[in-house]
A and B are shown apart, each in its own frame.
Chain A
Amino acid sequence: MVGEGKRKRTIAIEEAVVTTAVVIAGLALQFTLGSFDKAFLAFPVNIIALAALATLLFIKKGKLLTRLSSGSLSVILLTLVLLITLYMGLVPGNKTKISWPFVLIYLMTLINLTAVISLHLKEFSGKRIPFLLNHLGVLILLFAAGLGSADKSRYFMRVNEGAVEWRAEQSGANAQDGLKELPVAISLKNFEIDEYPPKLAIIERSTGEALPKGRALFIPAQESNLAIIDRWSVRVDSIKYLPRYAPAAFVTVESLHNSDTMRGWVSCGNHFQRHKTLDINDNLCVAMTFPEPKSYSSDVIVYTQSGKQRSGTIKVNSPLTVGSWKIYQHSYDTQMGRDSLWSRFELVYDPWFIPALIGIIMMIAGAISLFWKGGAR
């Protein structure tokens, strides 16, 4: 077994030399050509790369496959990935993810993974299913998230209530200016906001700070809410919501030390109406915060070029899927708040999302197999 150990060690050295050479080549490319241009990987290049990788699954077991699938190579590659991502996580504003060394190590990892999967597939048995779930899953996900993501594009589209829109502006890192016609169109039937009740606080005018200082207390403006803030009791007698107007609360403030009592309307104001505070004394007043949105949603109909039509409601966290497109609720006219007359959507085109999802689901199953099997061998 001594000979075996020695052989293993020389192979690990070979792998270390090869990966070092790749990293140095990556650095050289980085300094001569600059960052890797991801657009290069867009269709059809990624499909060709996929076919090339897939041939590894079919070649016969032999020296090449054994070398490419080496477990020591995996450990070295994972260590390099760790070091590169550490740089990514520590140095602000870097472009590591599109640097040549990272791209090359990423590709080597894909090859290493494919080769080891190829070996395991050749001796397939039920016992290998956990291995395949983990490794095929991570391979598919890494491929889709890496080479596949070159096909992805994102757009912003602003649609007025009652109108149909098919033009959008590109978003993201290398977006071009101007509007572009998309193969999907959106008609906005209705936009709606659901808000949390606004909050009341006692504010010191000279500093703008809320009382008690350091641990400010905000009370929700809901009918018959009562709170003691510093030396005052604050009660909400009634609250009024009218279309177009900002929410307003009728508030009673009583001093806990003397018989001072103040009553009046307090409102946060909006685009249509000024805000209103209730004075307690020269320096203190009761003020209302803007209501925070709880959820907002758009009722839409989506049309595609091929004549398909889908209607639905788009909310934050609940996009509408049409083919390879997902349409997200992005924003609205915050100046107008609940009266916003338009809704802004983000449209994301990602033909590789389904493969990525398959990889993710396989890996979740693989993770569960880790609990089941454990690490004791």
Chain B
Amino acid sequence: MNWSNFIYFAFASLTLWIVGLILLYRIKSLSVGKIFIFAGILLFSVFIAGLWIGQGHPPLRTIGETRLWYSLFIIIVGFFTYLHWEYKWLMGYSILVSAVFIFVNLLKPEIHTTNLMPALRSIWFVPHVTVYILSYAMLGAATIAAFAAMRELRSNTRLIPLVDNLVYIGFGFLMMGMLMGAIWAKEAWGDYWSWDPKEVWAFITATAYLIYIHSRLRGYPLKYNLWLLPVAFILLMITWIGVNYLPAAQGSIHIY
């Protein structure tokens, strides 16, 4: 399988997800909608697995390929959070974000299949990148939930536990991604931390979420605390996508 098959899988999966979402809203029995969404997840995963086999290495090297995983993980996160907390809007939001990333990949595919350079042939490569993308998906969901929570802050705080949960889980994945990256860097480059631009920004992002976690524990006013999440998410997006465009980042060892 290769990228030219993507369009069919993408549209089929998106259709399953959207139909599933409509069913969740329209029909009393929710299980049909859930089955549709699950089927879409399965189909999308089949494409990724096929691409992996077709290329002979995991599709994790280019920005386009990481977007592919993000499209999948945001749906999985949305789906499981929906199953647990029953927020249909979160499911809908996940599908929207996933669709955006799918369309970016269709219109601007930065997906040139290239050979994997020796330093990337490591057992840490796959867990490092997938865990990071999983955490981006969680923290993206946390940001949206934070906006929703801000809107109803005057009347109630029922969304706060959801926000905190998403931040804790997302931050847990973020730390795991960073720490596995450190072990890998020691194996590949001789140093577990070298303040490479991408590392600097990963550090900034992690610090921003630590500030949120600790200022929540202190009980500072929610009004201000919740604003930390969109700010932290902007820093996260800079880490992920923006770093390569920064003047301070010329000569980074990270290729995406």
Contacts and interface: CB of A to CB of B under 8 A. Distances in A.
Nearest to B124: A317
Contacts of A348: 190-191
B179 interface: yes
Contacts of A263: none
B192 A370 contact: no
Nearest to A220: B115
B193 A145 contact: yes
Given A316-B119, A367-B173, A85 B207 contact: yes
Contacts of A315: 118
Interface string B179-221: 1101100111111110101001101100110110111111010
A110 interface: no
A375 B165 contact: yes
B246 interface: yes
The secondary structure that dominates the B interface is: helix
Given A85-B203, A92-B248, A371-B168, A295 B118 contact: yes
B54 interface: no
Of B186, B195, B203, the most chain A CB neighbours within 10 A belong to B186
A317 B165 contact: no
A81 interface: yes
Contacts of B173: 367
A376 B213 CA distance: 11
A21 interface: no
B207 A82 contact: yes
A79 B211 contact: yes
A357 B191 CA distance: 12
Contact of A367 (B121, B179, B200): B179
Contacts of A326: 186, 190
A88 B216 CA distance: 27
Contact of B192 (A94, A145, A328): A145
Interface size class of A (residues with CB under 8 A): 35 or more
Contacts of B179: 360, 363-364, 367
Contact of B188 (A154, A293, A317): A317
A357 B180 CA distance: 11
Nearest to A80: B207
A317 B122 CA distance: 6
Nearest to A197: B115
Interface stretch (A25-33, A58-66, A67-75, A237-245): A67-75
Contacts of A374: 164-165, 168-169
B164 A360 contact: no
Nearest to A369: B172
Contact of B175 (A152, A356, A364): A364
A92 B249 CA distance: 7
Nearest to B197: A89
Which interface class (under 10, 10 to 19, 20 to 34, 35 or more) fits B?
Answer: 35 or more
B171 interface: yes
Given A88-B195, A196-B115, A317-B119, A75 B215 contact: yes
A370 B204 contact: no
Given A85-B204, A317-B122, A363-B175, A373 B210 contact: no
Interface in A304-320: 315-319
B48 to A, nearest CB: 23
A370 to B, nearest CB: 4
Interface in A90-106: 90-94, 97
A81 B248 CA distance: 18
Interface string A342-377: 000010100001001100100110111011011111
Interface string A291-303: 0111110000000
B107 interface: no
A294 B182 CA distance: 23
B28 to A, nearest CB: 29
A262 interface: no
B169 A370 contact: yes
A353 B218 CA distance: 34
Nearest to A89: B200
Contacts of A373: 168
Given A294-B115, A364-B179, A316 B188 contact: yes
A86 interface: yes
Contacts of A376: 161, 164-165
A82 B204 contact: yes
Contact of B172 (A71, A75, A85, A370): A370
Contact of A317 (B175, B176, B180, B187): B187
A97 B194 CA distance: 10
Interface string B97-113: 00000000000000000
A271 to B, nearest CB: 21
Contacts of B119: 316-317
Given A78-B211, A293-B118, A364-B176, A71 B192 contact: no
Contacts of B247: 92
B151 to A, nearest CB: 20
Nearest to A194: B118
Given A86-B204, A357-B183, A71 B218 contact: yes
15 contacts: A71-B214, A81-B207, A89-B197, A89-B248, A89-B249, A317-B122, A356-B192, A360-B183, A367-B172, A370-B172, A371-B168, A373-B168, A374-B165, A375-B164, A375-B168
Interface of A: 71-72, 74-75, 78-79, 81-82, 85-86, 88-94, 97, 145, 152, 154, 196, 292-296, 315-319, 326, 328, 346, 348, 353, 356-357, 360, 363-364, 366-368, 370-371, 373-377
Given A348-B191, A360-B182, A371-B169, 16 more contacts: A71-B218, A75-B215, A82-B207, A82-B211, A85-B203, A89-B246, A316-B188, A317-B118, A317-B187, A360-B179, A363-B179, A364-B180, A367-B172, A368-B176, A370-B172, A374-B168
